[in-house]
Amino acid sequence: MVYIPEKDRIQNEIKAEFALWMTLAEAISQIEQSMHCDVEVAVQQLRDALGDGVIRVRWIYVPSEDEDFVAEIHWENQRRPSGATFWQNAFICLKGDGLVLEDTTDYRALAWRDKETSYRTAVEPFSDTEKIIKSKAEQLQRERIERKEVVYRPLLLLRDSISKYWPLSSDTQGVAEEDEIRNALVKVFTEEKAAGKKPPNMNEAYDLVRNKLTKKVHKAVTHRILREDVFRKLRLRAGDHFRPPKARPV
């Protein structure tokens, strides 16, 4: 039996742990290949899945300037931003391995409270208000980044979580295409209406589509399709009450 020095054992454990995860750039690339889409669509797909909490992620610790850098993975143990609102609005940088701006500040609210902005919105035409607020919000964020009050942080995503929703090559044969999901959704809503039932919500529609198709159906893809205008009009809106059709007298 060969003795392995402790330093080498630790490095091997780190490599084994790291192999379970992929970088943000790798995840986006796999989604592009799996869906045959461009990077903008891939990023939005990942935002939706992260917002739904179906992808496991780990943040990497970023040492400050006065800390010695160690060439190892340092998992960030502190609680980090999450949730649909954060992921839909997070600034994502795809340079290198990919970075996410760790920032949950509501810059629009800060811009509205700014005295200079308030004066400009009062004297400028109302049509320019949105441009003024957006410009001020971007300025406030740039200033925070320059002061290093917020940082771009590396993000790792569990490899199995990404492959579950966006498999590659031979695994894609059993995955339902978007048009197949759309056709199945049309049948679902038509059949439910004909039976006098309330329109299914997003999760109910997803389950009904899965029962109709023999191929694997991705939840994130189905939810994105359900947000399209044609299906959004068919779904029961929040706050609305379903009124079953009255039976015709015999």
Please tell me whether residues 34 and 155 are part of one structural domain.
Answer: yes
In a domain, 237, yes or no: no
Predicted confidence (pLDDT) at residue 107 exceeds the cutoff of 80: no
Q: What is the pLDDT of residues 8-67, one digit of tens each?
A: 666 666 566 667 888 899 999 889 888 888 889 999 999 999 999 899 888 876 555 544
In a domain, 240, yes or no: no
Please tell me whether residues 161 and 197 are part of one structural domain.
Answer: no
Task: Count the Cβ atoms, other than its own, within 10 Å of residue 238.
Answer: 6
The parent domain of residue 133 ranges over: 107-146
Please tell me whether residues 90 and 204 are part of one structural domain.
Answer: no
Percent of the chain with pLDDT over 70: 65
In a domain, 41, yes or no: yes
Please tell me whether residues 82 and 95 are part of one structural domain.
Answer: yes
In a domain, 93, yes or no: yes
Side-chain-side CA neighbours of residue 216 (13 Å): 12
Predicted confidence (pLDDT) at residue 73 exceeds the cutoff of 50: no
Contact, 31 vs 45, CB < 8 A?
yes
Q: Which range is least confidently modeled, 19-23, 82-86, 128-132, 176-180?
A: 128-132
Number of domains in the chain: 3
**Global pTM value:** 0.51
In a domain, 249, yes or no: no
- The set of residues, in sequence order, having a beta carbon less than 8 Å from that of 157 and lying 6+ positions away, is 21, 22, 23, 24, 27, 55, 56, 57
Please tell me whether residues 16 and 67 are part of one structural domain.
Answer: yes
In a domain, 250, yes or no: no
Which amino acid, one-letter code, is at 197? K
Q: What is the pLDDT of residues 50-67, one digit of tens each?
A: 999 899 888 876 555 544
Please tell me whether residues 38 and 161 are part of one structural domain.
Answer: yes
Q: How far apart are alpha carbons 82 and 73 in whole angstroms?
A: 21
Please tell me whether residues 91 and 129 are part of one structural domain.
Answer: no
